[in-house]
Chain A
Amino acid sequence: MLVLLCALAGGARAQAPLVPPPAAAPPPPSVAANTPQLTADLSTNQVEISTGFTGSSVMVFGATERLIGPQTDEDVIVVAWGPPQATVVRRKVNVLGFWLNGPSATFREMPGFYAIAATRPVWQVLPEDARRAGRLGLDALPLRASGSQAPAFRAALLELKQDDGRWQEYASPVTVAGGRLFSARISFPDTVQTGDYRIEVLLVREQRVIARQELFLRVDRVGTAASIAYVAHTQPVIYGVGCILLAALAGWLGSVMFRRS
């Protein structure tokens, strides 16, 4: 993992040869005009769910042309978006002493995974309309419900998604080293859904987004877990018969191996 990270970090540096090392003197203006304001990359572009998967994390790292920090009023925002996942929120109601699922609200267009991290909270560095337009922050996500419209459902969705770690708001910081190098860790829980993830890295200066870069990441099952899910999904009859035969075989083998009489 460490080797991979170093290798990829090396790759990123090779792609951005014009970024000067932090210790070097300021470059002459002519070079600065061609320098990208922001360069970022991921430690890996694939998260693999194998049979031993317990969650994973990906490092987003990069460099900026100018110094980051409150002194220069320059900030980095990292946002990760998972594939959309329609979710239903149900409220439990008490009927004759029993708690059962009552009214529900269905949220169709919402990311299954969302994480935002920044050097400073976004509401401090961007005006409110820009923050809402960029959907930077959980409260800026467009959550339209079908079914019950009560605001409590939206609040419950926000709370429960954060509890299980699939929505994160400033859960981990964007750390800055040497004034220009930044890194952030995005962690995925074991319940993470498979699919294509988009990671947006934004550079903010003087209340405006002046540079952005999009990175892509794929979360996939691999190995046995992948084959099982694939067969179960595409060939359910064969999978069902396979489950029956395997269970019967295991039962028979067990009775042979552990016979006590």
Chain B
Amino acid sequence: MQVYLPIAEMSVDGLLLLGIGFGVGWLSGLFGVGGGFLLTPILILIGIPAPVAVASGANQTLGASVSGLMAQWRRGNVDVRMGTVLLVGGFIGSGLGVQLFAVLRRAGQVDLAVAIFYVVILGTVGMLMVRESVRAILRRRRTGAAAARAHEHTWLHGLPFKMRFRKSRLYISVVPPLLVGMAIGVLSAVMGVGGGFMLVPAMIYLLGMPTSVVIGTSLFQVVFVSANVTLLQAVQVGSVDIVLTMLLLAGGVAGAQFGAAMGTKLRGEETRALLGMLVLSVALGLLYDLVRTPDSLFVIGPVP
């Protein structure tokens, strides 16, 4: 079933897109992340131009995160105050990111920049996740129970502009969450991801937020930042393809529910180890693409 994508100006197999959406949605439901980090590289792999893949990936992430946010909101797991601070940083970051994207596009280096961002970020995050979860699994084997992490005081707690975050039971400076939000915003714009897979560890380890509110608050940030990226990409680059987004979402929302149902049967550490390995293998695949000798030494494209 061929479908013509009006913005990408090409036709693709609609069933293939539904399948990709379902697969990525299933994994994202299983691991509780948006799945944008898998989706954008796959789209580029099947021949969608990188700008369209990134912009539509952000739009898809928005749709995929909405239902999760609503579920978490009903359970009262969203720290709106922390979310808003993260969001302010996220808006600034995504604004900068889209500018950076436009500059890269003019220089003809979008594909390279997207690939390098993916390799570096996914490689680092994947390695950290695998290491952390393997340690946790080993510790559980040795002691029989996971050791509780003590709330540590670091230099981060000495910064000014302190604010009380009641839901997170924190009294910290707004500077670290602003910076975290900003960094995620830049990545979101350049990589077409929501950034949940990075935001969750950053909130737990950098900000010291309790796990119960982390998922809900990160979804809060992801929904609004990806909405902002969608709008900015639509206006500045003009590369959001709604037909592509809707096909991916149709498969994705179904897959996510199945994945989430299965996710409840897995243990936390094992899930994190699997997710870490998945993230690492995507990074390695993209790295291989960068270093292998290309089939054709030349590429053609429209003048930006």
Residues of A bordering B, CB below 8 Å: 49-55, 85-92, 97-101, 104, 106, 108, 152-153, 156-157, 159-161, 190-191, 193, 221, 224-226, 228-229, 232-233, 236-237, 239-244, 246-248, 250-255, 257-261
Contacts and interface: CB of A to CB of B under 8 A. Distances in A.
7 contacts: A99-B292, A104-B108, A152-B298, A225-B4, A232-B234, A244-B62, A244-B231
A140 B198 CA distance: 54
Contacts of A54: 2, 4, 11
Nearest to A256: B67
B250 A228 contact: no
Contact of B249 (A87, A228, A239, A247): A247
Nearest to B11: A190
Nearest to B245: A247
B23 to A, nearest CB: 15
Interface in B247-268: 249-250, 252-254, 256-258, 260-261
Would you list the 10 A-B pairs with minimal beta carbon distance, nearest first? A254-B253, A255-B67, A240-B234, A247-B63, A156-B298, A251-B66, A251-B63, A240-B231, A258-B257, A190-B11
A108 B32 CA distance: 48
Interface in B1-59: 2-4, 6-7, 9-11, 59
Nearest to B262: A260
B108 A90 contact: yes
Q: Chain B's interface: helix, strand, loop or mixed, by majority? A: helix
B291 A157 contact: no
Contacts of B257: 254-255, 258-260
Contacts of B252: 254
Given A98-B291, A252-B66, A157 B300 contact: yes
Contact of B6 (A97, A160, A229): A229
A227 B298 CA distance: 34
Nearest to A236: B235
Interface stretch (B132-140, B181-189, B202-210, B236-244): B236-244
Given A250-B253, A254-B253, 19 more contacts: A50-B4, A54-B11, A98-B291, A99-B291, A99-B293, A99-B294, A100-B112, A160-B299, A193-B9, A221-B6, A232-B6, A236-B234, A240-B232, A244-B62, A247-B59, A247-B245, A248-B227, A251-B64, A259-B257
A248 B62 contact: yes
A237 B240 CA distance: 12
B256 to A, nearest CB: 7
Contacts of A254: 63, 67, 249-250, 252-254, 256-257
A228 B253 contact: no
B303 A228 contact: no
A220 B160 CA distance: 59
Contact of B261 (A193, A246, A260): A260
Contacts of A50: 4
Contact of A237 (B67, B235, B297): B235
Contact of B260 (A49, A157, A225, A260): A260
Contacts of A106: 303
A243 B298 contact: no
B128 interface: no
A88 B4 contact: no
Contacts of B7: 228-229, 232
B221 interface: no
B226 to A, nearest CB: 9
A242 B298 CA distance: 37
B40 to A, nearest CB: 15
A85 B233 CA distance: 23
B278 interface: no
Contacts of A259: 257
A240 B292 CA distance: 37
Contact of A101 (B109, B234, B256, B302): B109
B71 interface: yes
B300 A248 contact: no
Interface string B144-163: 00000000000000000000
Contact of B9 (A99, A100, A191, A243): A191
A248 B234 contact: no
B302 A87 contact: yes
Contact of A49 (B2, B4, B111, B112): B4
A205 to B, nearest CB: 38
B60 interface: yes
Contact of B254 (A52, A156, A242, A258): A258
Contact of A243 (B66, B242, B292, B302): B242
Contacts of A244: 59, 62, 227, 230-231
B290 interface: yes
B302 A240 contact: no
Contacts of A252: 66-67, 70
A53 B8 CA distance: 13
B168 interface: no
Contacts of A221: 6
B240 A243 contact: yes
A55 B4 CA distance: 10
B302 A91 contact: no
